[in-house]
Structure 1
Amino acid sequence: MALVMIFHMLFSIALAVTVSIMSPSPLSLAKSDNLGFSVDLIHRDSPVSPYNHSLTPFECIGIALRRSSNRVNYFKLASLSAQAVSTEVIARDGQYLMKMAIGSTKFSFLAIADTGSDLTWIRCSPSTWCYKRKAPLFNPKRSLSYEVIPCNSKKCKSVPGSFCSRNGTCSYLVMYGDKSFSHGIVGTETVLLDSSARKPASLPGIIFGCGYHNRGTFSESASGIVGLGGGEVSLVSQMGSSIGGKFSYCLVPLLSQNTYSSRMHFGAKAKVVGKQVTTTPIIPTSMKTFYFLGLEGFSVAGRRLEIYDSSSSSPTDTFGAFKKLPIIIDSGTTLTYLPSNAFTKLELAVREAVKSRPIGDPQNRLKLCYRYNKTLALPIIVAHFTGANLTLNPMNTFLPTGPGVLCLAFLPDDNVAIFGSVAQMNFLVGYDLAKKTVSFKPTDCTKK
């Protein structure tokens, strides 16, 4: 097994995004059919990232594990009610940054790209600031394309957490698990997917939030949130037929981030086709923001493990003849989280398959670790989704948490199940929101 590769896959922590439009002229996505364009994803800790602090690889891993824990806390809060999903987003722990522009002034900024939220919002001027910031502010009064939305309009009602202000404009309030918040006015604006080499693609009339009152532990270098969830007002949903409801991404392994960029694709460029493609349906739930898949179980070294056996009593019985676990697929969460019973089964199977003696995690966060040496043989793990068997190599299931130490990149959690970014590396992961499916294709993501 190519275990050396594991030490070259610092999972994606946070990525800055630059857009490369596949056309030499200005484009209006609203008037285009299935337009194809791609996005370069730059690792948060790469030399060109605004977050580059010259951290060691293992320091990056430690920070990433803490972010993963914070991200899970958000999903726990959101799962308490469908309304909570709509009114809470995570700002400080997002995994990706997206470079874009807005308005007739072509105001350029970085925002956190989040598949776990819907509303796109940006910090606006004048603003009340109660935290450090390096990011500039957007002044909507200087933009000719900016429009305020009336509070009694259909557009206003489509925004979760919206309400009428005293002057009759549509306002929003998004709350965070750490008591951070953003409050402002809902409007429409032209969003530009910017490119330094080519003309930008233009998305007119995008519903977004202009945040005038923001408090909490937001990122210093990001100006807001780009909502890429499954809800009605997410940027992906508002693009609609112009991208055919399709987007995909391909996350490069670890230290490859210094040489190669990950990629995100939209429209025709987002198609996932080929002999090795495996596809699973997105499970419909009341929490439309999140993308849920049906996980039936795992195989470890050829041994099948069901999430729920025939004696299990679970509210997931209604998802089919075989009991399935609704699991959120999320590129913003590092690790994969499973219910305690399922995690215990998986951990025991890995212990039985690996002949070496387990050791402690230097980060004191992961449960099962081994000392790396030439004799260490890690098993192949297969994730069994509805209609799809996804073969995970050791680089998808183990993380280097210290010199010569590899740890299982799974943790138990009885409140939320998440299929995280480490498990998705070196796969082309495609979302088809029209067909309600997610497809996977084994891919060398270092190759364009």
Structure 2
Amino acid sequence: MAYYLTSFHPFLAAIIICLVFLPLHFSPIQGNTNEGFSINLIRKTSPKIFPQRLRGLSAISRTPQSPISAYLGEYLMEISIGTPPVKVYGIADTGSDLTWTQCVPCNNCYKQLNPMFDPQKSSSYSNIPCNSNLCHELNTGVCSPQKQCNYTYGYADDSMTQGALSQETVTLTSTTGESVPLKGIVFGCGHNNTGTFNDHEMGIIGLGGGPVSLISQIGSSFGGKMFSQCLVPFHTDVSVSSRMSFGKASKVSGNGVVSTPLVAKDDKTLYFVTLLGISVGNTYLHYNGSSNTVEKGNMILDSGTPPTMLPTQFYDQVVAQVKNQVKMKPIVDDPGLGSQLCYRTKNNLNGPMLTAHFEGADVTLAPIQTFIPPKDGVFCLAFTNISTDVGIYGNFVQSNFLIGFDLEAKMVSFKPTDCTKNK
């Protein structure tokens, strides 16, 4: 679901939509072979259920890949669906599982620039029958009059998608120009979709850890459930792209890599890690500041949420220390900026370096990752507060890092990288 951040939204109005994709419903899938691949991002199993394996992959000699570019605070992933393939641009979202796109006929849909996917024009499209194990697994899976499985997938801000749970061929392109068809991918063909989506977003690509996510569906086909991303910074020209990779070829290694454990919780979708504290310059601030005990899994890594969201007490401490170290007066006379910490400057803000101290991994953040220009001559701290004890590590601070998610080893790795040059 798209989730508006009330304290952050005022200064980003009409610039970004802050999306926290926290899914309410999900179900399983699986596949098999042994290569890695990359797919387009452009700036959200049981063998008994899915006996059909992914085919046509063994001949791929190189890792498939395609660009990833920044667009309005989100990252749009390009995949092709159907036969013949139709390009779909969906929000790349590590905070949800279901991959879906708007489909013809669309009874209640938001406006999109590109044509909607028409399942009747695809020879590889099939509806999942309501007597299948997958439909029974879905809490909201219900039978249509045609005995097909209909789904409802909700998000935390009451955004949702409703439609037919289906299977299709998803096609990617390798570095050698070869097509990589992945047959039998389960996705949502959305006929009723509401929420805070712009007209470039044709749906959501679910990259969470749950059983119905794209990662879980194709993981065993490429050597394991692993993927890596390199997000270009906010306001990067859309013609400048990077990439996102999947499978064992996506492993992040080399000089400068630091890693932190993924923390298992009841919610299998979200990627929980442990943040011990944040340093502003040389000043260390303990997470939450209330005790010396830090709860394991207190931060969610979410590519679908632009700002970093911290528990209010901790957020207030970070803001106070940033104010103390920036030798300029904050903006206090611009109601359009809300309560955010912002400064007027013609050049990039010369603010302090921040270090996120994860368990076993110190990740140093430059001002380009922590201060965002919502308009010319203004830079604002890209953090906001949240009323829960669990925070969200948003995509602004994830930019310019090659970040590897290894669901097999249960680790996340960070490598400082100029993502504008990571072709």
User: How far apart in 2 are the matches of 1:178 and 1:373?
Assistant: 36
Return the offset for 1:295.
0.9
Counterpart among 333, 352, 355 of residue 382 in structure 1: 355
**Gaps spanning 5+ residues in structure 2: where?**
1-14, 19-38, 43-53
Please list, as runs of the form range in 1=range in 2, the aligned pairs for 1:10-409 lying within 5 A after superposition: 18=40, 28=55, 36-44=63-71, 64=73, 95-129=74-108, 131-159=110-138, 161-176=140-155, 179-194=158-173, 198-215=177-194, 218-243=197-222, 244-258=224-238, 260-309=240-289, 311=291, 322-324=294-296, 326-360=298-332, 362=334, 363-365=336-338, 367-372=340-345, 377-409=350-382
- C-alpha deviations, 1:159-192, integer Å up to 9, x for none? 4632333443222012355655432221222111
Secondary structure of 1:100's aligned partner: strand
Which residue in 2 is equivalent to 1:434? 408
Q: Report the aligned-residue RMSD.
A: 3.3
User: How far apart in 1 are the matches of 2:345 and 2:197?
Assistant: 37
CA contact (8 A) 1:308 1:323 kept: no
| Counterpart check, 1:425 vs 2:399 | yes
What is the identity, as a one-letter code, of the residue corresponding to 1:191?
V
CA 1:328/1:34 → structure 2, altered by over 3 Å: closer, same or farther? Answer: farther
Which residue in 1 is equivalent to 2:386? 413
Secondary structure of 2:105's aligned partner: strand
CA contact (8 A) 1:12 1:421 kept: no
Higher mean alpha-carbon deviation, 101-110 vs 211-220, is at 211-220
What is the identity, as a one-letter code, of the residue corresponding to 1:331?
S
CA contact (8 A) 1:283 1:293 kept: yes
What is the identity, as a one-letter code, of the residue corresponding to 2:304?
G
Give the structure with the higher percent helix: 1
User: How far apart in 1 are the matches of 2:242 and 2:115?
Assistant: 26
> TM-score scaled by structure 1?
0.73
**Gaps spanning 5+ residues in structure 1: where?**
1-10, 21-26, 45-59, 65-94
How many matched pairs? 374
- C-alpha deviations, 1:222-279, integer Å up to 9, x for none? 4332211111011111012223211111122345425521321222442210121111
Return the offset for 1:300.
1.7
Secondary structure of 1:285's aligned partner: coil
Identity of aligned residues (%): 43
CA contact (8 A) 1:99 1:194 kept: no
Return the offset for 1:294.
0.9
Return the offset for 1:353.
2.5
CA 1:379/1:130 → structure 2, altered by over 3 Å: closer, same or farther? Answer: closer
CA contact (8 A) 1:30 1:204 kept: no
Return the offset for 1:117.
1.7
User: How far apart in 2 are the matches of 1:375 and 1:147?
Assistant: 51
> TM-score scaled by structure 2?
0.77
Which residue in 2 is equivalent to 1:69? none
